[in-house]
Amino acid sequence: MTFKQRSSAKEFLKNQEALIQLGQWPEHSADPIETQETPLFQAFCERHISIQTTSRGDLLEPSTQHLYRNLLRTHLSPFGPLMLDEITDATVSDWWAKAIISGKKTTLSKAYKLLASVMKRAVDEKIVQHNPCQVKGAHSATTGKKVPVPTNSEISEFLRHLNPRYRTMVILAANGGLRFGELTALRRCSFEPSTRDGEKAFNVVVDQAIGWAGGKPYVKKPKSQKSNRVIPLSSDLTPIIDKHLDSMANKDGEALVFPSKSGTYLRHDVFTNSFRPALKRSGMSKKFTPHGLRHFFGTELGRVGANLAELKEALGDSTISSVMRYVHATDRAEELIDKMRTAI
């Protein structure tokens, strides 16, 4: 058509442009909202891992991102080629039922939680209307394996057979409850001398940890805000710590206290290559892990009467449920009964 006035033509064009934007123009009938395909799970999950934040508003740690990408590559691979709206309650339930045959419930629960988190984002971003992760018990599923907790005498026997290079490190893990990443991040300046009951004692300042992603170490914040802590050590350990610090060639305050042979950050697998043979040589049937030393520390604190708030402080955990994982029953049932007031 033709227009008598320029203003009428411009008004017509504006109306047509509006119809085009709405997908309602007769010559532009394809509606982008109706025909747009939802993203593939693989790509959407990768994006989720890259932009997901913690309760503190930080991006996920590189080690956590690395773990999630491994879960995506392995356990969640059946969902990779599916579009988000193709993942239904039945799809997730069938996957879970098939996957748990392997018996790896703890790892599969982590994969399920990642899947649920990704689908929640899809709901929040209005890509799908419903989160299909509705498998009862999957969030808290576990293999139920008990963590072996060594006794005081078993640790002493174990230390006799351990490479001397790692003895002080193990003693600190058992008597301070430090995580492996916290131990390997300790520097000379982390040990602050003090006086307790007239005797020299050390406090250990935990303000950073070492994480690993793709085989490369990086310095990070401790696991939670509560993990930034000062751990008082028994004065019985002072001679051991003094000897270790004195034996260090590097006296700089930032020098690593427990480095690898090459002077860099110690890898967990390198440490366990000495830890496991020492267990075997000690002849113990109880095959505890390095993390079992943290359980020993929590259990010992509970045995001598530490309350839950004190346990949280010492272990550097932010929740009661986290703390309770490290407190195990002891063999002092008779002692406790004798201390009770008898009701007669």
Q: Using pLDDT thresholds of 50, 70 and 90, give the confidence band for residue 33.
A: very low
Sheet strands side by side (includes 229-232): 191-196, 199-206, 229-232
In contact, 40 and 78? CB cutoff 8 Å: no
Q: Using pLDDT thresholds of 50, 70 and 90, give the confidence band for residue 278.
A: very high
Q: Which amino acid is at 340?
A: M
pTM over 0.85: no
The answer to whether position 134 is within a domain reads: no
Among 250, 245, 247, 274, residue whose Cα is nearest residue 263 = 250
Compute the distance between CA of residue 325 and CA of residue 206 in angstroms, rounded to an integer: 21
Residue-number span of the structural domain to which 110 is assigned: 41-124
Q: Using pLDDT thresholds of 50, 70 and 90, give the confidence band for residue 192.
A: very high
- Tell me the pLDDT tens digit for each residue of 70-90: 999 999 999 999 999 999 999
Determine the average pLDDT of the residues in 101-119: 96
Compute the distance between CA of residue 154 and CA of residue 282 in angstroms, rounded to an integer: 9
Among 319, 313, 314, residue whose Cα is nearest residue 296 = 314
Asked if 26 and 82 sit in the same domain, the reply is: no
Q: Which of 119-123, 129-133, 237-241, 285-289 has the lowest mean pLDDT?
A: 285-289
Asked if 120 and 192 sit in the same domain, the reply is: no
The answer to whether position 142 is within a domain reads: no
Asked if 21 and 52 sit in the same domain, the reply is: no
Half-sphere exposure of 3 (CA within 13 A, CB side): 9
Q: What is the pLDDT of residue 69?
A: 97
Is the pLDDT at 8 greater than 90, yes or no?
no
Taking each helix axis as running N to C, give the angle between helix 152-161 and helix 292-303, from 0 to 180 degrees, rounded to the nearest 10.
150
Determine the average pLDDT of the residues in 269-286: 92
Q: Report the CATH number at residue 167.
A: 1.10.443.10
